[in-house]
Structure 1
Amino acid sequence: MSAYSGLSWSDLLFLLDGAGKTILLTALATLFGTVLGIALGWLRDSSRLVGWIVAPYVDVTRSVPLIIQFVLFNSFIAIAGYPLNPLWSGTIVLSSYMGVFTSEVVQAGLQAVRPELRRAGRSLGMGYWTEMRYVTAPLALRVVFPSWIGLVIGLTKDSALVGVIGYIELLRASQILINRTNEAILILLGAGLFYFIICYPISRYSQTLERKLKQ
């Protein structure tokens, strides 16, 4: 490798470390964002008042570019005197972003369940939570799951923007190597391969789970 490009095996390890940080950031943001999105989506479906209250938060998060959200959040917490590690700053912003879009998907999934089925469950003596667990949630999951997987894959790629606040994930690591070696094509091909390795198994496994949900 070094005979042709000036790269060394330590550079490959540097890229692998960046890929590991991308996976960690994506996993944390997916976990917290999904929990937030489920709660927010359920509340918005259950109460018009809640939907009206959180509408500004949802609209702003969806409309403002993610890179601006990273910069503003990181600047505000620094000005407030509570600077955070770039990992946690990125996790908070990405979780909020993921939560908003997940809430949209969850709300759409809940609304896709026919009211007649909900009423049928209640007429059989089920309480609200029992009906939600055995009737509404399983049916809504079939609608929500494919879209949620798309959000996770998109979140993996959006995590590259966290480099703007100093987190050295996969793309930022690639940029550092490009600046040192001037081998943009080779390094970006390697970074793209790593993103493919991360995202493709998620997509394939989701297709298997989706078929099981439809059985």
Structure 2
Amino acid sequence: MFDTAINANDLIFLAKGAGMTIFVTVISVFFGTVLGILFGVIRYQIGPVWAAPLTFVLDIFRSIPLLIQLVLTYAFLGMVLKLGLSGLTVACMVLTMYCSAYCAEIVRGGIESVPLTLRRASRSIGLSWGQDMRYIVMPLATRVALPSWIGLALGVMKDSALVYVVQVTELLKSTQILITRLQEPLLLLAICGAFYFIISFPVARFGGYLERRWSND
């Protein structure tokens, strides 16, 4: 007979951890996407030479492991600058910049996928740069960039498991706490995996739906 020490309170504890994972992911992906769009447009518009300083900074966030970024930022802001920011704030800040660094490349690639002849045609009929970006470039670039952006959002959600190093109790940390107390690692990890699946599956399916709909337009 199947026997376990896991009770309803433990499942609620895991659900709260999942809620924290969702919160950190939503905040980081939202602001990371906004910054990523801005950085991507800037990089494309001013060219690789003038954008070199920005590219260098973004490369730092893409190259250094996220775990190291979290630890160094938390220590620098707390011990050096004495800002006293919470671990949650630091986690959202670091994940936002991490997301924006990758999103900027996705946006830049999406914009470059729009044929120059189409852009010249839009300008020749009197559209301003802003109108060209809004009505021509961004709709077409979004179709190209969406699959990569969905992958990025899901990646940030899974990478949020590392924020435990800055004292944020998200889903995986909650699971580890229960494993230490209940000594049922396989079952708890299976439940943890089920939570991650429940969170990520709707996002992946919605992205697939948008791709199919746009491909038929």
TM-score of the aligned structures, taking structure 1 as reference length: 0.97
- Give the whole-Å Cα distance in 1 for the aligned partners of 2:7 and 2:133: 56
- Give the whole-Å Cα distance in 2 for the aligned partners of 1:142 and 1:50: 28
- Give the whole-Å Cα distance in 2 for the aligned partners of 1:26 and 1:9: 25
- Which stretches of structure 1, 4 residues or more, deviate above 4 A after TM superposition? none
Letter in 1 for 2:114: V
Could you tell me which residue of structure 2 aligns to residue 88 of structure 1?
89
Could you tell me which residue of structure 2 aligns to residue 160 of structure 1?
161
Task: Note if contact 1:118-1:136 (Cα within 8 Å) is conserved in structure 2.
Answer: yes
Letter in 1 for 2:192: A
Could you tell me which residue of structure 1 aligns to residue 44 of structure 2?
45
Per-residue deviation at 1:212? 2.1
Q: What's the RMSD between the two structures over aligned residues?
A: 1.3
- Give the whole-Å Cα distance in 2 for the aligned partners of 1:38 and 1:59: 16
Residue aligned with 2:3, SS = helix
Task: Note if contact 1:74-1:83 (Cα within 8 Å) is conserved in structure 2.
Answer: no
Task: Note if contact 1:37-1:98 (Cα within 8 Å) is conserved in structure 2.
Answer: yes
Q: Counterparts in 2 of 1:19-34, with a 5 A limit?
A: 19-34=18-33
Could you tell me which residue of structure 1 aligns to residue 56 of structure 2?
56
Letter in 1 for 2:101: V
Residue aligned with 1:5, SS = coil
How many pairs align?
Answer: 214
Letter in 2 for 1:138: P
Per-residue deviation at 1:4? 2.1
Per-residue deviation at 1:184? 0.4
Per-residue deviation at 1:50? 4.2
Question: CA-to-partner distance for each residue in 1:47-78, whole Å, 9 max, x for gaps?
Answer: 12442111221111111000000000000000
Q: Counterparts in 2 of 1:51-200, with a 5 A limit?
A: 51-79=51-79, 80-200=81-201
- Give the whole-Å Cα distance in 2 for the aligned partners of 1:91 and 1:98: 10
Q: Counterparts in 2 of 1:203-214, with a 5 A limit?
A: 203-214=204-215
Task: Note if contact 1:110-1:137 (Cα within 8 Å) is conserved in structure 2.
Answer: yes
Tell me the percent identity: 42
Task: Note if contact 1:42-1:107 (Cα within 8 Å) is conserved in structure 2.
Answer: yes
Letter in 2 for 1:44: R
- Give the whole-Å Cα distance in 2 for the aligned partners of 1:8 and 1:203: 31
- Give the whole-Å Cα distance in 1 for the aligned partners of 2:90 and 2:143: 33
- Give the whole-Å Cα distance in 2 for the aligned partners of 1:137 and 1:33: 17
Per-residue deviation at 1:210? 1.5
- Give the whole-Å Cα distance in 1 for the aligned partners of 2:50 and 2:130: 19
- Give the whole-Å Cα distance in 1 for the aligned partners of 2:154 and 2:71: 23
Per-residue deviation at 1:8? 1.8
User: Unaligned 5+ residue runs, structure 2?
Assistant: none
Task: Note if contact 2:88-2:166 (Cα within 8 Å) is conserved in structure 1.
Answer: no
User: Unaligned 5+ residue runs, structure 1?
Assistant: none
